[in-house]
Amino acid sequence: MFYIAFNRTLWRGRRGWVFIGVGYMLLAIVIQSMLQSIPAMLIVIKALPSILSARSISETNALMLNLLKPYALWLSLYAGFMAGLCQEVARYFAVKDREPASALYVGYGFALIDIAVGILNSLVGVLAYSYIESLTPFAPHGLPDILLYAQYVGIAIQPIISFLFHPGASMFLRYMQAIRHGLTGLTINIAAHTYIDSFLLYLNNALLLGLITNMSTVTALLAIYFTTIITTAIVLFLMGLNRIRLLH
């Protein structure tokens, strides 16, 4: 809805810049996906004999969950960092040496892909959480309902977050490049991106693996997550918009 409402503003004379953002983001997503899968693949390969000896699908699922459980935090941090690193490095080169006005539209290109991937992941999450009780017998009563609710909220706010974060990050990074502090801007963007993605990944992993089973804790963490990512996106957008205006 947000994109449709601002469609004319986005594309009027700026189509090339938006497509540049789309292209760089697609490249980042491909590289990111390959890098993110490496640790889990190594863990699975190491335990492959045990996995192959499992007698049923439920036994295989239980074995996989037990294998990944000790590494949940580090896997989440690694995957979040890879997302931040790949996407922000791609953004760095997408806006580098372009006129300042292009940064906003390049950011919109990043946002379009992010929305598509985010909604797809949320829909997959809805399907996964629909079967969580059979996959995770230690899940407390009512947990699937909260997780499904969180996924629906995520689908609803994903476009808003993306259309604030990515343009904001692009404008901020372009400004930092202009004042010869591009690497500092890149580091800040990577840190913000890593926080957002790692927090979400850890919540998903911890809940699926039974690391968090207290309903009050789940609710509090979800509230903290949604509040902080919305705040981060708004602050970055306003900061980027104010800074990029200084270059005109």
**Mean pLDDT over the full length of the chain:** 84
Q: Which has the minimum average pLDDT: 60-64, 78-82, 165-169, 179-183?
A: 60-64
pLDDT at 44 over 90: no
Q: What is the pTM of this model?
A: 0.84
Digit-coded pLDDT (tens) for 159-199: 899 999 999 999 999 999 999 999 999 999 999 999 999 99
Q: Where are the domains of the chain?
A: 2-7+20-29+72-245
d(CA 122, CA 139): 20
d(CA 209, CA 205): 6
Place of tokens 């913000």: 192
CA dihedral 53, 56, 57, 62 (to 10 degrees): -70
Amino acid at 42: L
d(CA 154, CA 147): 10
Centroid of chain to Cα 204: 12
